[in-house]
Amino acid sequence: MAALEYGGATTLRHAFGSVLCFFILLLIGVLAFSIRLFSVIKYESVIHEFDPYFNYRVTQFLTKNGIYDFWNWFDDRTWYPLGRVIGGTVYPGLTLTAGSLWWLLNSLNIPLSVETVCVFTAPIFSANAAWATYLLTKEVRGTGAGLTAAALLAMVPSYISRSVAGSYDNEAVAIFALIFTFYLYVKTLNTGSLFYATLNALAYFYMVCSWGGYTFIINLIPMHVLLCIVTGRYSSRLYIAYAPLVVLGTLLASLVPVVGFNAVMTSEHFASFLVFIIIHVVALVYYIKGILSPKMFKVAVTLVVSIGLIVCLAVIAVLVALVASSPTKGWSGRSLSLLDPTYASKYIPIIASVSEHQPPTWPSYFMDINVLAFLVPAGIIACFLPLSDASSFVVLYIVTSVYFSGVMVRLMLVLAPAACIMSGIALSEAFNVFTRSIKFQLPGIPENSHSGAGDTTSGSATIKNDAVKSEKHSSTDKKEDSLKERPSKKNRKKEKEPVEKATIKSQVEKKLLALPLEMSVVAIFLLVLLGALYVVHCVWAAAEAYSAPSIVLTSYSHDGLHVFDDFREAYAWLRHNTEVDDKVASWWDYGYQTTAMANRTVIVDNNTWNNTHIATVGTAMSSPEKAAWEIFNSLDVKYVLVVFGGLVGYPSDDINKFLWMVRIGGGVFPHIREPDYLRDGQYRIDSQATSTMLNCLMYKLSYYRFVETDGKGFDRVRRTEIGKKYFKLTHFEEVFTTHHWMVRIYKLKPPKNRIRGKTKKSKAGSKTSSTTSSKRAGRRKNPWH
Amino acid sequence: MAKLFVTLILLLPLLCNCFSSENPTDRRILVLLDDLGIKSSHSIFFRSLQSRGFELDFKLADDKKITLQRYGQYLYDGLILFSPTVERFGGSLDLSAVMDFVDSGHDLIVAADVSASDLIRDIATECGVDFDEDPAAMVIDHTSYVVSETEGDHTLIASDDFIQSDVILGSKKIEAPVLFQGIGHSLNAANNLVLKVLSASSSAYSAKPGAKLSSPPSLTGSAISLVSVVQARNNARILISGSLALFSNRFYRSDVQKAGSSTRHEKSGNEQFVTELSKWVFHERGHLKAVNVRHHKVGETDEPAMYRINDDLEYSIEIYEWSGKSWQPYVADDVQVQFYMMSPYVLKTLSTDQKGRYFTSFKVPDVYGVFQFKVEYQKLGYTSLSLSKQIPVRPFRHNEYERFITTAFPYYGASFSTMAGFFVFSVVYLYNK
């Protein structure tokens, strides 16, 4: 009777817990979505930054022309005159996601514009990512940890920085895909179900579609498998979790055009194949061990090891030879710079020039993951207390992602979910301990059930410990064991399933963690305070730091808010005042925006696939006017666009990026030498600057007529007066300068209609020099100097 | 990509908006004179222009009412400056106005003479012609001077060193030498727009006649050009002569015997030379136009928005020459088309049907990108044709590759046999015992 009643109570309680859990998750989703809307509220519903504009343009194309045209899209508006095969060089996951969202909404008669869908894709998917985090953490360490981790992830600043409304970039969906793939892997590992294994491969496929970061998955999971094998945790569940993923995942990955044969040809993927072989060998060994007597097994081992060693050596030799024959040893530049952080700055200026590829500074850790940085170690310890397959996986995840985030600031994004999971585990464990202590010591509850309740909840760690122990003992058939383990996990919440716990109880009783009441209360208060600090910081980061769309800038000064909308002003000018087939040259940062907003052909854009082409533009920008004109003319360029921040103090302008242009240009065209632009190793544009610097096109286009603004030519970014103030342009003419001078557009002058004779008059001499001699031998003195 | 981004950039009408595409020959010409006597002393030249349909408007060079344009429209199609001594033009005309006139596609004839003013020299310099700096210098030739009764100072020279071009000087050979008396000029070798039409003989030099040579003359030999023409990039044409007398009735009618030659010509070559040259300058000859640029795949007629690599295509263009009255088919065997992306991937000489149509066919190279059909036709004496038409070339679509490749059959066999083997293995493993 009592048992029945009791059972009813637990069911009710369980149901109540599920409903509560569901609503908490719903609220977390709402939180994740709404915290990312600051940019829309503060600015407007607009696509942000650079890459999102490309994605937006691709999505527009997709919604207009359908998937097959998208797949085969040859874009003749970028990389003139090379063009770009967009369908084969883009990760289509994001585009397809937003495209299907749009299609779905439209077929439900909800007429949203493509832009709106694109703007809100990232917030929607961060809600998904929060839920995926819940699932993953729940698999690792129960519902409580899951909810905490999901709540933390919903507002972790690092992730917000890449997923505010309008930040329509691959990472927006890729982080969800990443966490979800991990969840399915851990789920398969826990259940050993082939169904989840297949889902896992599909999730992996979605990740491959979405982001180049999928190589993280295909290296992390083999690492974990190897770790399990080495630590003697091999089981059939591990095999089921891994083998289908490699086979199906690789097959599916090679279906993505941008990956294609890379899925089997590049070194990034080799680790997975190697582990695939190893796991088969291990499986075979276990199988043989099962059917042979121990003595026979020993003989077989020596036999196989000797032969296997030879075969392995041969295979490795072939692999090494294959890999060594390629110049980059089969690794792409970005991956190499992951392994050797100094690689990019040494060899590939084009990778090093991107600010998000730089190593992060210490403050950026505090900025991006805030208090999580302190909670992560606690989480790692909590994971070790009962080390299961799943928790060892998240430990491995956090360790590798910490390393990668230290290499590239952009990969902070991969660290953020791991940090959230770890902190979630740590927080929930801590709360568990403290609340239990309070509950245990409160005088009102010392009922007959108290010891049991205290035991099971407090001892959840130890129970698991035991489970793991037993798991170790009977490593051959894990299946039943794990099935046993899972109900036992559930039982923790039900608090009472006295049948088999009875034996454990007695062992555990003495290990009971009972802290003093006051201490627990204070600790809980402190933890809540910590959480509150985190929330405050996250909201601040979302509202202030990360929601600027970067195409519209604002600044506060004593006389109020200033809005700098120069970029859109310039692009609108281009769209309305130039021919549809005119080519616009600019540094590659502005390529995507020019094609998307101005709808004009560009020479280079943010997809940096052709180093030579970028170097050509860099060379033109760092050449004297005439040489630059010749380069641009040979590329049919009509307009040159430069971004100049000297008037309003906008620091990321072309003059500050100029050294990268010189470096990238000089990497291909050796006559551009970086020391020519530096005075004693210093980059300067004042009167001490070198004449090469003062005569290069970038200087001239940036500072042309600049002295007319304040009479002195004071550059507010470099905080100095410019070196050469009065000069004229012979081969370019200014056609448009935006309100705050942030974007300046120049037109190439056509060649002179006539060629002058060579009179000796000094007045005429200057004009002739530009046209009479076609050769530019040596460095001619600028006539206006 | 329903919309096609193909443009036709016809540089020709773009740059020289003054030549009406229907009728490029000039009609209204302003003639500026030092004094009105020139009107009668050079009447044959003027009459020949008038008889060819030109309206001549004679004005003194310092006339206060000279104006080239009104309300932004040019009143004249051509300008003849027979005023070598004028220091300042009257009215609104000055050096830059003359140059703007040329740069907007109008034609110019400049005749200098001994003691030419700085203004005339400046105009010549702007066009790429440098007259001898010494204001008193003349071209002197002690071997090919004109034999006359009095032994002069050999400044009246007879030259027959013409440019070899039927377009500029007409197809009829000029038999008699051309009389010239005036100053010489030199051309910059690097300047490819200016042509030496009549050059001095190798024994000529430029110096002050009668004076003793204290230093070597600055201009000597056949480097001295007597008459030059310029065709600007916008196809405006300019004639510059160092002698005003070249156009005069006196030289036209004069009989001529070159020193050292026994033949005595009844009439000098001046009339023929000047007439033919003025025809060229005023676009009665050597003016080309290109129309009807077409391209399509072999076997189709519509112009595609985009080609695929390895497509076979046909390209055609029609080129006509202005004969002074009508457009005649232009016949040549050296018109070439480039299929161009940063460098020509295909360069083909077009074949012609003798009726003005030029055509060829070729295979698109195995390279994708944004290509251009380029016709860059620059032939001595003709207006330059420079056409480019942009056309993208795309790679194969995903379903345009071969589905099954013969060489890959071992792989197909391997995969299917593996599948079959796996199936058999499963059956045996699952249902055996």
More confident residue, A38 or A440: A38
Predicted pLDDT at A505: 52
Predicted pLDDT at A241: 92
| pLDDT at residue B257 greater than cutoff 60 | yes
**Chain B touched by A498 (CB under 8 Å):** no
Predicted pLDDT at A470: 41
Non-local CB neighbours of A420 within 8 Å, separated by 6+ positions: A133, A149, A152, A153, A156, A372
Predicted pLDDT at A759: 60
Q: Given pLDDT bands bounded at 50, 70 and 90, which one contains residue A472?
A: very low
Provide the token pair at B331: 């016949």
**ipTM more than 0.90?**
no
More confident residue, A749 or B24: A749
**Angle between helix A114-154 and A2-34 (nearest 10):** 130
Predicted pLDDT at A447: 46
In A, minimum Cα distance to B11 occurs at A750
Whether B103 and A581 lie within 8 Å, measured CB to CB: no
Nearest to A72 among B124, B190, B398 (CB): B398
> A187-201, A309-323, A758-772, B105-119: which range is least confident on average?
A758-772
**Chain B touched by A754 (CB under 8 Å):** yes
Going across the sheet that includes A732-737, the strands are A601-602, A583-585, A637-643, A743-748, A732-737
Looking at beta carbons, which residues of chain A come within 8 Å of B15?
A: 750
Question: B7 lies in a domain?
Answer: no
| pLDDT at residue A97 greater than cutoff 60 | yes
Whether A65 and B1 lie within 8 Å, measured CB to CB: yes
Closest Cα in chain B, distance from residue A753 (Å)? 5
In B, minimum Cα distance to A257 occurs at B398
Using CA atoms, how far apart are residues A371 and A376, in angstroms rounded to an integer?
Answer: 9
Question: B253 lies in a domain?
Answer: yes
| pLDDT at residue A337 greater than cutoff 50 | yes
CB count, 10 Å around CB of B400? 10
Using CA atoms, how far apart are residues B196 and A275, in angstroms rounded to an integer?
Answer: 80
Indicate whether B363 and B429 sit together in one domain.
Answer: no
Looking at beta carbons, which residues of chain B come within 8 Å of A752?
A: 233
Using CA atoms, how far apart are residues A661 and A589, in angstroms rounded to an integer?
Answer: 11
Using CA atoms, how far apart are residues A289 and A272, in angstroms rounded to an integer?
Answer: 25
CA A199 to chain centre: 23
Indicate whether B124 and B228 sit together in one domain.
Answer: yes
Closest Cα in chain A, distance from residue B233 (Å)? 5
Predicted pLDDT at A344: 62
Whether B5 and A580 lie within 8 Å, measured CB to CB: yes
Predicted pLDDT at B420: 97
Non-local CB neighbours of B174 within 8 Å, separated by 6+ positions: B160, B162, B269, B272, B273, B276
Provide the token pair at B416: 């299917």
What value does the mean pLDDT take over residues A308-318?
90
Q: What is the pLDDT of residues A425-451, one digit of tens each?
A: 999 999 988 888 888 777 655 444 444
Indicate whether B67 and B31 sit together in one domain.
Answer: yes
Predicted pLDDT at A473: 43
Task: Please give the interface size between A and B, counted as residue pairs whose CB atoms are below 8 Å apart.
Answer: 98
More confident residue, A471 or A115: A115
Is residue A730 left, alpha or beta, with left meaning phi > 0 and alpha meaning psi from -120 to 50? alpha
Helix (H) or strand (E) holding A290: helix A270-291
Predicted pLDDT at B212: 79
Using CA atoms, how far apart are residues A669 and A355, in angstroms rounded to an integer?
Answer: 24
Indicate if the alpha-carbon torsion angle B160, B163, B168, B170 is positive or negative.
positive
Q: What is the mean pLDDT of chain B?
A: 86
Predicted pLDDT at B191: 85
- Among candidate residues B239, B266, B264, the one with its CA nearest the CA of residue B78: B239
- Among candidate residues A9, A2, A105, the one with its CA nearest the CA of residue A495: A9
Provide the token pair at B53: 């349909």
**Chain B touched by A759 (CB under 8 Å):** yes
Q: Given pLDDT bands bounded at 50, 70 and 90, which one contains residue B20?
A: low
Q: Which of B230, B370, B372 to mutate to test the interface with A (most CBs of A within 10 A)?
A: B370
**Angle A529-A530-A533 (CA atoms, 0-180°, nearest 5)?**
85
Predicted pLDDT at B18: 45
Q: What is the pLDDT of residues B401-422, one digit of tens each?
A: 888 889 999 999 999 999 999 9
Q: What is the pLDDT of residues A53-79, one digit of tens each?
A: 999 999 999 999 999 999 999 988 888
Domain count, chain B: 3
> A287-301, A335-349, A565-579, A589-603: which range is least confident on average?
A335-349
Nearest to A755 among B128, B395, B397 (CB): B128
Distances (CA, A) of B127 to A14, A441, B119, B133, B198: 97, 105, 13, 16, 17
What value does the mean pLDDT take over residues A41-63?
90
Helix (H) or strand (E) holding B10: strand B8-10
| pLDDT at residue A783 greater than cutoff 60 | no
Q: Residues of chain A with pLDDT > 70: what percent?
A: 84
Cα Rg of chain B (Å, integer): 31
What value does the mean pLDDT take over residues B86-95?
85
Q: Residues of chain B with pLDDT > 90: what percent?
A: 28
Q: Cβ(A425)–Cβ(A502) under 8 Å?
A: no
Q: What is the pLDDT of residues B62-71, one digit of tens each?
A: 888 888 888 8
Q: What is the pLDDT of residues A677-718, one digit of tens each?
A: 888 888 888 888 888 889 999 999 999 989 888 888 888 888
- Among candidate residues A612, A602, A592, A607, the one with its CA nearest the CA of residue A636: A602
Stated pTM of the model: 0.82
Whether B306 and A76 lie within 8 Å, measured CB to CB: yes
Cα Rg of chain A (Å, integer): 31
What value does the mean pLDDT take over residues A411-427?
92
Provide the token pair at A204: 């992996």
Using CA atoms, how far apart are residues A461 and A768, in angstroms rounded to an integer?
Answer: 87
Helix (H) or strand (E) holding B157: strand B157-159
Predicted pLDDT at A333: 62
**Angle between helix A93-107 and A170-191 (nearest 10):** 100
Using CA atoms, how far apart are residues B295 and B300, in angstroms rounded to an integer?
Answer: 10
**Chain B touched by A757 (CB under 8 Å):** yes
In A, minimum Cα distance to B185 occurs at A757
DSSP string, B281-296: HTTSSSEEEEEEEEEE
CATH of the domain at B344: 2.60.40.1930
**Angle between helix A214-230 and A170-191 (nearest 10):** 20
From the number of C-beta atoms within 10 Å of its C-beta (0-12, 13-18, 19+), residue A137 rates as buried
DSSP string, A166-205: T---HHHHHHHHHHHHHHHHHHHHHH--HHHHHHHHHHHH
In B, minimum Cα distance to A81 occurs at B370
| pLDDT at residue B1 greater than cutoff 60 | no
Which 3 state secondary structure label does DSSP give B367? Answer: coil
Question: B1 lies in a domain?
Answer: no
Question: B244 lies in a domain?
Answer: yes
Distances (CA, A) of A781 to A648, A678, A696, A751, A785: 32, 19, 12, 21, 8
| pLDDT at residue B316 greater than cutoff 90 | yes
**Angle between helix A114-154 and A389-407 (nearest 10):** 120
Mark A368-388 as b/e (b = at least 16 C-beta within 10 Å).
Answer: bbbbbbebbebbbebbeebeb
Question: B51 lies in a domain?
Answer: yes
CATH of the domain at B209: 3.40.50
Q: Given pLDDT bands bounded at 50, 70 and 90, which one contains residue B141?
A: confident
Whether A759 and B5 lie within 8 Å, measured CB to CB: no
Predicted pLDDT at A224: 94
Provide the token pair at A348: 């590939």
Q: Cβ(A342)–Cβ(A359) under 8 Å?
A: no
Indicate whether B221 and B265 sit together in one domain.
Answer: yes
Q: Facing residues of A522 across strands? A: none
Q: Cβ(A533)–Cβ(A371) under 8 Å?
A: yes
Q: Cβ(B106)–Cβ(B77) under 8 Å?
A: yes
Indicate whether B110 and B225 sit together in one domain.
Answer: yes
Give contacts of A 559-588 with B, CB under 8 A. Answer: 579-581
Q: What is the pLDDT of residues A242-282, one digit of tens each?
A: 999 999 999 999 999 889 888 888 878 888 999 999 999 88
| pLDDT at residue A204 greater than cutoff 70 | yes
Q: What is the pLDDT of residues A347-402, one digit of tens each?
A: 667 777 777 777 888 888 888 888 888 899 999 999 998 888 899 999 999 999 99
Q: Facing residues of B336 across strands? A: B349
CB count, 10 Å around CB of A404? 19
| Range(s) of the domain holding residue B48 | 24-281
> A182-191, A200-209, A316-325, B380-389: which range is least confident on average?
A316-325
Count of helix runs (H) and strand runs (E) in chain A: 35, 11
Q: What are phi and psi of B64, to 5 degrees?
A: -70, -15
Q: Facing residues of B265 across strands? A: B256
Indicate whether B292 and B274 sit together in one domain.
Answer: no
Nearest to A759 among B130, B191, B398 (CB): B130
Indicate whether B88 and B203 sit together in one domain.
Answer: yes
Count of helix runs (H) and strand runs (E) in chain B: 9, 28
- Among candidate residues A441, A745, A433, A418, the one with its CA nearest the CA of residue A573: A745
Indicate whether B147 and B192 sit together in one domain.
Answer: yes
Q: What is the pLDDT of residues A13-34, one digit of tens each?
A: 889 989 999 999 999 999 999 9
Q: Given pLDDT bands bounded at 50, 70 and 90, which one contains residue A507?
A: very low
* Domain final residue, candidates B281, B301, B317: B281
> What residue ranges do the domains of chain A occupy?
562-748
Predicted pLDDT at A37: 93
Indicate whether B145 and B41 sit together in one domain.
Answer: yes
Looking at beta carbons, which residues of chain A come within 8 Å of B390?
A: 581
Q: Given pLDDT bands bounded at 50, 70 and 90, which one contains residue A465?
A: very low
Q: Cβ(A129)–Cβ(A4) under 8 Å?
A: no
Q: Facing residues of A624 across strands? A: A696
Predicted pLDDT at A762: 38
Predicted pLDDT at A532: 93
CATH of domain A562-748: 3.40.50.12610
Indicate whether B129 and B247 sit together in one domain.
Answer: yes
Q: Given pLDDT bands bounded at 50, 70 and 90, which one contains residue A48?
A: confident
Provide the token pair at A30: 């709402």
| pLDDT at residue A652 greater than cutoff 90 | no
Non-local CB neighbours of B284 within 8 Å, separated by 6+ positions: B25, B52, B322, B323, B324
Question: B401 lies in a domain?
Answer: no
> A355-364, A502-511, B138-147: which range is least confident on average?
A502-511
DSSP string, A353-415: TSGGGSPPPHHHHHHHHTTHHHHHHHHHHHHHTT--HHHHHHHHHHHHHHHHHHH-GGGHHHH
Predicted pLDDT at A116: 93
What value does the mean pLDDT take over residues A711-731?
88
